[in-house]
Structure formats: structure tokens, C-alpha cells
Amino acid sequence: MLLLLLLTNAFVLLPWAGAGRIIGGTEAKVHSRPYMAYLEVKNKTKSSRCGGFLIRPDAVLSAAHCMDIEKIVSVTVILGAHNISDEECSQQKISVGQWDIHPEYSREGFINDIVLLKLEQNATINEYVKCISIPKKNKHVRVGTKCNVPGWGWTSKEEDSTDVLREVKLKVQKEKICQRAFSDYEPQSMICVGDEKSKKATYKGDSGGPLVCNEKAHGIVSYGCDRNLFPEVFTRISHFEPWIHEQLKMFSLQDIPGSPSSD
């Protein structure tokens, strides 16, 4: 099984080195994906880079496995970016104050691979930074729907790097295809996605990014298989909508000084 996050040794690679792009996609139109977040999680020796997306000015959704680093010292998101290695005026770099990994997340099989990150300050919503909406509970995306996935992940199986946001169009596939390919595939909480010809895919560094179908974030890049680019598994957001709502409510409560849940 292949994890789609990028784990790099912070002492060997320079910051940002290794951040690449989607396989078989095209460069995204500049600032056409204003909900897209670049996520960096660090401890003293390692860092992981992932995608994520803004669903409220104070909240970013991503994949739980992006947080699979021991003794995290910092989690940062960059919003409004196109070229992640440039200091673009549109960029907002915000620290993540806390995060809620799904309580039933399992590394074995990537079950419930979802995390909600609370930003320390609200993002400023403008031309470059906007939220994306998520589907209601059990509003399933139809098989055959063509969706977009933006990301800064690798562009080939051999690390190949550019720093601009790329995107790829992938089709929602029948559950059977993923049930055959992955023993832990769970139809109610995962979406089976891919390009049958295996010419297009997400890859390392794309984890946590959104599967955008009909302008809503229906999925989160979760995992695939190293030998084949097809099929791939995304976390099914509609299944987690009640949980997300609950977490967002808690985030808001914490903002009220003196409320029982604020520290």
C-alpha cells in the first residue's frame, strides 16, 4: 500500500524540496482553486507535506495519515498559494492550533482517514482564499462522475518536482473495482476513483487534497497502490458530515472566552 503523503528528512532536504505535482494532470489556472491548502507537519527530524482544503475560515480538512508523525512540533497551512516556493502576496501562512483526528482512524487499511485542523487565526476570505462546501450526509457522488483533484504532489513515480499547483480529472468508479484491489476497502466511508488507463493519478504529496465534484469537496486523497496507479481510494466526506459538523461546533465554542470547553 502506498501512502500519498511526502515524508522527508528535514535535515537532508531543503524546505520545499521534493514538493512536486499530480501525475498526468495539467497546471491549475492560477488561483482557480482558492480553497486549496498546503499543509506542513513537522517534528524535530521529519516533515510531511500534504494537501488540505478550507471549509470554514478557521477550519481545514485533510487526511488523518498526514498527522502520522511522532512528537509533532508544528503544523502550518498555506492558503492562497499557486507556486509554493515563491513568496506570493496572495499567500496566507497560518499555524494550526489544534486538530481532531477521527477517533476511529486506523493506520491499518486507512479506515476513517480524516482530520479537521483548527487554524489559530481565521483566514481572510478574498479573491485568493475561499471555502469549499461539503456534501450533506449520505449525498453520494454518482459512479461515472468526473471530478478534479488539485495537488502539489509528485508528477511521476520518480520524484519530479515543480512547485506550482497541478490538477487532474479522475472518474468515480464502481465499488467492486476497489473491493477487488484493496481488502480493507469500505464502500460507505470510501470512494473508489481513478483513470482506467492509469495515465492520470494522484501521487506522493497529494494526500489530504480534495476530490472536487460539481463544486463540492466529496473526497479526500487517501491511498493507492504502488505498482498500479489505478484504482485509488478517497475518504468519503458525506459519510463523515455529522462528525465534521460536531467538530466545527466545538471549534466555535472554544472561541467564546469563559465557555466550558475553552482552555
Ligand X SMILES: *[C@@H]1O[C@H](CO)[C@@H](O)[C@H](O)[C@H]1NC(C)=O
Which of 71, 142, 197, 227 binds ligand X (CB under 6 A)? It is 71
Cis, peptide link before residue 242, omega less than 30° from 0: no
Closer of 66 and 191 to ligand X (Cβ): 66
69 binds ligand X (CB under 6 A): yes
CB of 175 to ligand X, least distance (A): 32
Residue 34 CA to residue 37 CA, distance in Å, equals 8
Residue 46 as a binder of ligand X (CB under 6 A): the answer is yes
The smaller minimum CB distance to ligand X, of residues 58 and 113, is found at: 58
d(CA 116, CA 61): 5
Q: Are 221 and 6 in contact (CB under 8 A)?
A: no
- Binding of residue 74 to ligand X (CB under 6 A): no
β strands within the chain, DSSP E: 2-3, 6-9, 26-27, 36-42, 46-56, 59-62, 74-79, 92-101, 115-119, 146-151, 166-172, 190-194, 210-213, 216-224, 232-236
How many beta carbons lie within 10 A of that of residue 151, not counting itself? 33
* Interacting span for ligand X (CB under 6 A) from 39-47, 94-102, 136-144, 222-230: 39-47
Closest contact distance (angstroms) between CB of 53 and ligand X is 15
Rounded Cα–Cα distance for residues 8 and 18 (Å): 8
Interface positions, 106-135, toward ligand X (CB under 6 A): 122
Collapsing DSSP states into helix, strand and coil, what is residue 95?
strand
Contact 172, 143 (CB under 8 A): yes
40 binds ligand X (CB under 6 A): no
Q: Note whether 214 binds ligand X by CB under 6 A.
A: no
How far apart are CB 252 and ligand X at their closest, in Å? 5
With CB under 6 A as the contact rule, which of the stretches 41-49, 170-178, 213-221, 231-239 interacts with ligand X? 41-49
Give me the active site residues, please. Answer: 65, 113, 207
Contacts to ligand X from residues 234-263, by CB under 6 A? 252, 255
Query: Minimum distance between the CB of residue 258 and ligand X, rounded to whole angstroms?
Result: 15
Q: Which three cell numbers stand for residue 53?
A: 482544503
Binding site for ligand X (CB under 6 A): 43-46, 56-58, 69-71, 122, 252, 255
